[in-house]
């Protein structure tokens, strides 16, 4: 069987790698992918994720069994619906189900309607009304662009002035285009954040190990928000019963709600949660795998990934099995300056082998065929060990031996698990 993965980052590298390891998968194409992914059985296809008709033509020509959609913008643009309309199979929610991610107002309204615990909120398209609400509520307060904004549309404001400025950027100054034409303003929650992922078909869902991302650029959760600088799975220090509580209070009602709304969910549901004193509450839903969480979750899958997804797509109960022992931890290496301006073309270290796996994101081969940086997040080193300190030891030892000139990484990935 031949498969197609849509996307280009470390997440898609991890998906493609797991799929090519599956029995009966002879080739995995990735569109557009990145040069670092190239390996036995994984091929790149030079088609952008927005070019649905070209992707469809390719899938037909190559007799692709099904297509795995990685990124949020492809789902929001209705790529799954486009494939379905010509009788092709794509794994991911349809446009109307992925609205859980591409409209924060929609996600909040579903949560409100179906009683899912989340921060109190109001939605505004009028700046004066938003400003009045912020002044009435006081700070800290959170201002979010309604639509997709590459992870940059959320401002956790410490002061009323900062919150008003954020609302002004979005509603008056059009800083996020259409995505900021409406804003969700919500209560600031506090607690530890973690991610809960599930493979979903309608009301049926199959949980993955819990994971924790590190969104800020620098050590100690300082600096600007990024796409994610490192992750580990599972999160060993979550109190007993938290996942069960999240299942009954969050996952089950939202999936039932989506069916009741005529938007049955098929694909991966990613719940970004905060463990508050009142229990887990939803920070956001995403309609896809997380990056970099995927790179630490999928290595723990011990069942046949392609067979599991095929079963899910055919309405059968897939037999997912996971590594029970130890922890998988990964550190992202990014271009110096990311998430702001950065240089490209930095020569990258050799791919690791053995107990440390390298997943590639922003990379390409230069004219001399050397692998160089070509994006913000460049690669990620991942290992599975008995515990977090051992995994940190192995990854950071490897990183100290690599020439990371022009690049940077956080040195505290996983520390929350050992404090």
Question: Residue 283: which of ligand AMP, ligand GLY, none does it interact with, CB under 5 to 8 A by kind?
Answer: ligand AMP
The answer to whether 291 and 227 are in contact (CB under 8 A) is yes
Query: How far apart are the C-alpha atoms of 299 and 77, rounded to whole Å?
Result: 29
286 binds ligand GLY (CB under 6 A): yes
Q: Give the residue with the Cβ less far from ligand GLY, 267 or 290.
A: 290
- Minimum distance from CB of 414 to ligand AMP (Å)? 17
Closest CA to 251 of 210, 216, 191: 210
b/e map of 150-174 (b: 16 or more CB within 10 Å)?
eebbbbbbeebebbbebbebbbeee
CB of 121 to ligand AMP, least distance (A): 8
Q: What is the DSSP string of 22-83?
A: STT--EEEEEE--GGG-BTTEEE----TT-HHHHHHHHHHTTEEEEEE--HHHHHTTHHHHH
Stretch that binds ligand GLY, among 21-29, 122-130, 174-182, 284-292 (CB under 6 A): 284-292
Q: Is 12 in the site for ligand GLY (CB under 6 A)?
A: no
Q: How many C-beta atoms lie closer than 10 Å to residue 113's C-beta?
A: 12
User: Is residue 299 part of the contact set for ligand GLY (CB under 6 A)?
Assistant: no
Confirm or reject binding of residue 99 to ligand GLY (CB under 6 A): no
**Cα within 13 Å of Cα(274), Cβ side:** 14
Asked, as a colleague might, if the bond just before 89 is cis with ω within 30 of 0, I would say no
**Beta bridge partner(s), residue 211:** 195
293 binds ligand GLY (CB under 6 A): yes
Binding mask 147-166 for ligand AMP (x = CB under 6 A): ----x--x-x----------
Is 228 among the residues that bind ligand GLY (CB under 6 A)?
Answer: yes
Pick between residue 280 and residue 318 the one whose CB is nearest to ligand AMP: 280
Tell me, residue by residue from 114 to 133, as one string, x for binding to ligand AMP by CB under 6 A and - for no binding.
-----x--------------
Does residue 290 touch ligand GLY according to CB under 6 A?
yes
Measured distance CA(376)–CA(332) in Å, rounded: 10
Is residue 287 a contact point for ligand AMP (CB under 6 A)?
no
Q: Taking CB under 6 A as the rule, does residue 117 contact ligand GLY?
A: no
The single residue listed with the structure tokens 């037909």 is 60
Give the nearest distance from C-beta 345 to ligand AMP in angstroms.
29
DSSP 231: E
Among all chains, which residue has been given the structure tokens 């996020």? 176
**d(Cα 217, Cα 329) in Å, to the nearest integer?**
17
Rule CB under 6 A: is residue 283 a binding residue for ligand AMP? Answer: yes
| Closer to ligand AMP by Cβ: residue 36 or 330 | 330
Q: In this structure, what token pair is assigned to residue 289?
A: 């795998």
Among 43, 193, 219, 261, binds ligand AMP (CB under 6 A): 193
Minimum gap (Å) between residue 144 Cβ and ligand AMP: 6
Task: Give the count of residues interacting with ligand GLY (CB under 6 A).
Answer: 7
* Binding to ligand GLY, residues 60-89 (CB under 6 A): none
| Site mask for ligand AMP (CB under 6 A), range 220-249, x = bound | -----x------------------------
With beta carbons less than 8 A apart as the criterion, state whether 6 and 16 touch: no
> Taking a C-beta distance cutoff of 8 angstroms, is the pair 75, 265 a contact?
no
Enumerate binding residues for ligand AMP (CB under 6 A): 119, 142, 151, 154, 156, 186, 188-189, 193, 215, 225, 272, 283-284
Enumerate binding residues for ligand GLY (CB under 6 A): 151, 213, 228, 286, 290-291, 293
């Amino acid at each position: 069987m031949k498969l197609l993965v849509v996307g280009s980052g470390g997440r898609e590298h991890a998906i493609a790698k797991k799929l090519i390891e599956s029995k009966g998968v002879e080739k995995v194409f990735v569109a557009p992918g990145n040069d670092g992914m190239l390996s036995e059985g994984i091929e790149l296809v030079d088609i952008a994720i927005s070019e649905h008709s070209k992707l469809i033509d390719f899938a037909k020509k190559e007799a692709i069994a099904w297509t795995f959609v990685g990124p949020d913008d492809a789902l929001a643009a209705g790529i799954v619906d486009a494939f379905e309309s010509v009788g092709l199979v794509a794994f991911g929610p349809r446009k109307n189900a992925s609205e859980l991610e591409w409209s924060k107002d929609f996600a909040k309204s579903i949560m409100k309607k179906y009683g899912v615990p989340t921060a109190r909120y109001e939605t505004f398209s009028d700046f004066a009304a938003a400003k009045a609400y912020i002044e009435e509520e006081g700070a800290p307060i959170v201002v979010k662009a309604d639509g997709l904004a590459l992870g940059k549309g959320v401002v956790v404001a410490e002061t009323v002035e900062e919150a008003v400025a954020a609302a002004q950027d979005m509603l008056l100054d059009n800083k996020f285009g259409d995505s900021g034409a409406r804003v969700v303003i919500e209560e600031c929650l506090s607690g530890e954040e973690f991610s809960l992922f599930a493979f979903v078909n309608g009301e049926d869902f199959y949980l993955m190990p819990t994971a924790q991302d590190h969104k800020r650029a620098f050590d100690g959760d300082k600096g600007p928000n990024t796409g994610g600088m490192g992750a580990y799975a599972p999160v060993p220090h979550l109190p007993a019963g938290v996942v069960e509580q999240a299942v009954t209070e969050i996952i089950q009602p939202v999936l039932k709600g989506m069916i009741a709304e005529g938007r049955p969910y098929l694909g991966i549901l990613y719940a970004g949660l905060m463990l508050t004193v009142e229990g887990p509450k939803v920070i956001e839903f995403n309609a896809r795998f997380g990056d970099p969480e995927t790179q630490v979750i999928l290595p723990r899958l011990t069942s046949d990934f392609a067979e599991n997804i095929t079963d899910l797509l055919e309405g059968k109960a897939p037999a997912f099995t996971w590594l029970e022992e130890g922890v998988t931890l990964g550190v992202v290496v990014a271009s110096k300056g990311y998430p702001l301006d950065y240089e490209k073309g930095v020569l990258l270290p050799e791919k690791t082998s053995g107990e440390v796996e390298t997943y590639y994101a922003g990379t390409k081969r230069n004219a001399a065929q050397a692998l160089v940086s070509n994006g913000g997040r460049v690669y990620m080193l991942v290992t599975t060990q008995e515990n977090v300190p051992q995994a940190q030891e192995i990854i950071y030892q490897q990183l100290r031996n690599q020439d990371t000139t022009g690049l940077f990484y956080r040195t505290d990935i996983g520390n929350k698990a050992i404090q």
